[in-house]
Amino acid sequence: RKEVEQDPGPFNVPEGATVAFNCTYSNSASQSFFWYRQDCRKEPKLLMSVYSSGNEDGRFTAQLNRASQYISLLIRDSKLSDSATYLCVVIPYNQGGKLIFGQGTELSVKP
Amino acid sequence: DVKVTQSSRYLVKRTGEKVFLECVQDMDHENMFWYRQDPGLGLRLIYFSYDVKMKEKGDIPEGYSVSREKKERFSLILESASTNQTSMYLCASGTYEQYFGPGTRLTVT
């Protein structure tokens, strides 16, 4: 079983739609969680951290469910510019700060 | 503006050649990382380094080595390139937030 699993998609949605991605992780001792975004042929960049209480950044909402070991990302009012691959990232406890990346979920927002 | 640079964007090498990929960061980060990214497999950690002259194996170190002689520079070495090392190689620095270089697309023929 992979340490971090995501639905690879692609998710094809119209502009203005709400879309949600989930990510599950296997190490219950994981301590930190993030979403990164990777545009086509570009490097990954941090989108947002994921806090236990859930957090929001504009149209983006991230949530963590430790009991079920999953993380989610909700994008409201999708824009064409949101088209990218979204990478779920987990930092396991006591592994020297290594980041474990999911394989990514591809989002395509259509006009 | 933070910056991680990699020596080449595209590289074509022959099987058996020794290949050097260089990465430089200007953020004074102690931690630096080398990943490869392949379709369907995502980002996989090859090696990382917490400090000058220190290195730790990642998940797929076989066939690779690294060098960290200066804090800002982290090199990945393919001792004898093979076709299964054709991939996108990404360098990163940082801790919880990692800053990535633009990547080197290496083709081994």
**Are the C-beta atoms of B49 and B55 separated by less than 8 Å?**
yes
Q: How many CB pairs under 8 A join A and B?
A: 41
How many C-beta neighbours within 10 Å does residue B105 have? Answer: 16
Q: What is the pLDDT of residue A92?
A: 83
Report the b/e string of B48-87 with b at 16+ CB within 10 A: bbeeeeebeebeeeeebebbbeeebebbbebeebeeebbb
CB contact under 8 A, B58 and A98: yes
Query: For position A81, what pLDDT does the model report?
Result: 97
Distance CA A103, CA A30 (A): 18
Q: What is the number of residues in chain B? A: 109
Nearest-CA distance from A43 to chain B in Å?
5
C-beta atoms of A44 and B102 within 8 A? no
pLDDT tens for chain B, residues 1 to 109: 669 999 999 999 999 999 999 999 999 999 999 999 998 888 999 999 999 989 999 999 999 999 999 999 999 999 999 999 999 999 999 987 889 999 999 999 9
SS3 state at B83: helix
Q: Is A111 on the interface with B (CB under 8 A)?
A: no
Query: What pLDDT is stored for residue A17 in this prediction?
Result: 97
For residues A77-105, one letter each, b for 16 or more C-beta atoms within 10 angstroms of the residue's C-beta and e for the rest, the string is ebeeebbbbbbbbbbbeeeebebbbbbbb
pLDDT band per the 50, 70, 90 thresholds, residue A45: very high
Q: d(Cα B80, Cα B100) in Å, to the nearest integer?
A: 25
User: Which residues from chain B sit within 8 angstroms of residue A44, using beta carbons?
Assistant: 43, 90, 98, 100
Confidence of residue A52 (pLDDT cuts 50, 70, 90): confident
What is the rounded radius of gyration, in angstroms, for the C-alpha atoms of chain A?
A: 13
| Contact status of B41 with chain A (Cβ, < 8 Å) | yes
Please check the confidence at residue A1 and state whether its pLDDT lies above 80: no
Which range, of A25-29, A43-47, A56-60, B60-64, averages the lowest pLDDT? Answer: A25-29
Contact assignment for B95 to A104 by CB distance below 8 Å: no
Please, which residues have CB within 8 angstroms of residue B104's CB and are 6 or more apart in sequence? B6, B7, B8, B9, B10, B11, B21, B88, B89
What are the tens digits of pLDDT across the range A56-90?
999 999 999 999 999 999 999 999 999 999 999 99
Mean pLDDT of chain B: 94
Question: What distance in Å separates residue B18's CA from the closest CA in chain A?
Answer: 25
Quick one: tokens of B70? 């200066």
**What is the reported pLDDT for A13?**
97
Residue B5 distance to chain A (closest CA, Å): 11
Whether residue A45 and residue B42 make contact (CB cut-off 8 A), yes or no, is no
